[in-house]
Amino acid sequence: MNWLSSNRKVLTDFAVLTGFGLALGLTLRALLAHGMDVPLDDAYRWRDLLGNLIVIGVLWLLIGHRWKTLAIACLIITGFQVANGLKLLTLGVPISPDDFINIANVIHLLEGFKKVFALAVLILPALALAYAIRWRHLGTWVTLTIIGAITTLIISNSSATAVQLDATFGNSVWNQPENFRKRGLALHVLQESVRTAAKVGQTPDKQRVADALATLPQRQSPAIPDLSGIARRNVHIIVLESFFDPLSLGTDWVPEDPVDPEFRKLWAQTDNSVVLSPVFGGYTANAEFEALCGFPVTENAVFFEGWMRRPVPCLPRLLSDAGFNTIASHPNVPGFWNRTHAYRLAGFDQYLSKQDFDMSDSVGGLLMDGSYFSQVFDQVTPADAPILNYMLTYYGHLPYPGSDRYPNQVAPGKEAMFLNGYLNHVWYKSRDLMARLDVLRTQDPDSLIVIFGDHLPFLEPNYGVYKQVLGLPEKRDAFTGDMFEFLVTTPLIVIDGQRGPRPVGKLPLYRLPSLVLDLLGVEQQGLLSWTANQNEKLYRPVYGMHFETTQQAEQSAVACRPENAPPECLAGMDWLESTRVLIADIFSGDQHALALPSAGQQARMDN
């Protein structure tokens, strides 16, 4: 009885905090499942609830006050759960450790009150926690010491810990939404953080890189190609934000074509060529990485953020070394998606960002393409040397704002979140593009012009409109290859100087730099040829798996999941594994691949 009396406060706090944690967790799960339409699995709800309770328990040990703990725990847990739900609905994947690096990018997207509100949501809980912690209490420092020791132990044994967690709770490399459903958010963040820690510094050694290179039959030339005979003409690459063919949604959704008829005519001259992007609905930087560096994005991460750490002979660097002036431009804040650093590592000589543009002709902070194009060409007029002029547009970005200055020109056939705004952005984007092309092809008739969309637009949560058009199932593990292909397919136009538009068919976006070198007369393309596909198949990695397709429209794409891949996927899986090794070596590691002799050189050395 004396024990109960002396520990009544502790027991009462424990009961109140446990009850609150369970009630909060169940309420948030109901909000996600019914209010936000986020698919959950109730068979694993106790993992989610227990994760919340552990977070609350740690906060209580640090704060020591019941109601302060409840208030701060509610802010933190609700914020994480709602943010995770929003990411699932927008991009189809849950929170990952990389998102903590990307928080600044989200803030950059917002303007005015929305930015202030977002900053408050991020900063106020942190300030409240710092204020509430009992910094002068011995128990606080004991708790922090234990947390630090556990963290150090996990990090120092991260590989073994990751294996044990995967064996206990499961892991699917390609199906992160299912991982979240089976783990709950706290366990999911912990497990993926341990996996990320295990990868840090774990770059492939020289022998593993050599083994990967040996599997590539196309590796006949040195890593760095000989560009001495390259055609010295200007190259213009235009990346169109969120641009795809809206008529593919069907006339019920899009009864009138928002795309400029002149664009349709030009695209038809390429036989409606397309690129297969690595992303859906966002993460433009991953599409950029592939288009510039010739290797696929294979994981659920923004490659520019933390994965691109070494100067690499990407297309801009190769052309710069060949005497081209290489210029990148994007009318956004320069550090968004770590572009300042990534563009430098890729080899651009100059980067024009938001401060280099007059932004007065903007809608919702997005510079209109017509004004953007005019300002770019005012600043990059070629002199004696040819140029690589890489232009990433910004208008067309979510949430597709409108204005009285640029009134709506078309209307959707059905109501859907963002669809009306998106269609009208396409109306203006396509016309601004064609107006610029008329000028560019007249003033620079011999130039190589490449135009493509970076990814499909986000139109409604949880794939929304696409779900209705394609009949998408609730879970990603039931998506067919054709569904994956639709969700990553955007228009591609290649204009080969006075030879005119070139039919390319389907092109995985990471094969674009090789195509550019080919059209510039470079036959041996070094490391940009290493990702060439085999057996007339096209390999498109998508978040830890891949699908395979062909140029034949009548053939269906095949989804290749590691756990149950059909036999026809095995060659592609071997290619993907070798490619992952090379990516880790070239962009983050010791770059053994750039120094190892080519297959032809090795044969001569052996003889």
- Show me where the domains of the chain are located: 2-199, 222-530
Q: What is this structure's pTM? A: 0.80
Peptide bond into 399 cis (omega under 30): yes
Residue 605: predicted pLDDT: 40
CA distance 306 to 323: 29
Cβ neighbours of residue 241 closer than 8 Å, sequence gap 6 or more = 284, 392, 393, 394, 395, 396, 397, 429, 453, 454
The angle subtended at Cα 59 by Cα 57 and Cα 61, nearest 5°, is 70
What are the 10-residue block averages of pLDDT along the chain, 607 residues in total? 61 84 88 81 86 89 86 87 79 72 62 66 81 88 90 82 82 73 85 75 82 75 83 95 94 95 96 94 89 90 77 94 93 82 91 92 92 92 84 92 92 89 95 95 94 91 85 84 93 95 95 95 88 86 87 85 85 89 89 74 43
Q: Where are the alpha helices (DSSP H) in 200-325?
A: 206-214, 261-269, 284-293, 315-321
The answer to whether residues 453 and 240 touch, using CB atoms and an 8 Å cutoff, is: yes
Residue 603: predicted pLDDT: 43
Other CB atoms within 10 Å distance of the CB of residue 498: 9
**What residues does 505 pair with on adjacent strands?**
none
The angle subtended at Cα 231 by Cα 227 and Cα 232, nearest 5°, is 100
Residue 94: predicted pLDDT: 79
Other CB atoms within 10 Å distance of the CB of residue 344: 15
**Whose CA is closest to 314, among 155, 599, 513?**
513
Residue 607: predicted pLDDT: 41
**Whose CA is closest to 352, among 371, 333, 374, 325?**
333
Other CB atoms within 10 Å distance of the CB of residue 467: 15
For the chain, the residue count is: 607
CA distance 212 to 17: 53
Beta strands 274-276 and 506-508, pairing class: parallel
Distance between terminal CA atoms of the chain?
A: 90
| Structure tokens that stand for 389 in this block | 């002029």
What string of DSSP letters covers 277-296? -S-SSS-HHHHHHHHHHS--
Beta strands 538-542 and 350-352, pairing class: unpaired
What is 222-530's CATH topology?
Alkaline Phosphatase, subunit A (3.40.720)
- Order the strands of the 538-542 sheet from edge to edge: 538-542, 545-549, 558-560
Q: Which residue carries 């092109």 as its tokens?
A: 507
**What residues does 329 pair with on adjacent strands?**
352, 391
Cβ neighbours of residue 596 closer than 8 Å, sequence gap 6 or more = 206, 209, 210, 213, 223
**Whose CA is closest to 549, among 489, 478, 465, 476?**
489
| Structure tokens that stand for 323 in this block | 């005497």
The answer to whether residues 213 and 408 touch, using CB atoms and an 8 Å cutoff, is: no
**Whose CA is closest to 517, among 230, 221, 314, 292?**
230
Residue 3: predicted pLDDT: 52
**Whose CA is closest to 337, among 56, 590, 107?**
107
Residue 84: helix, strand or coil by DSSP? Answer: helix
| Structure tokens that stand for 46 in this block | 């106790």
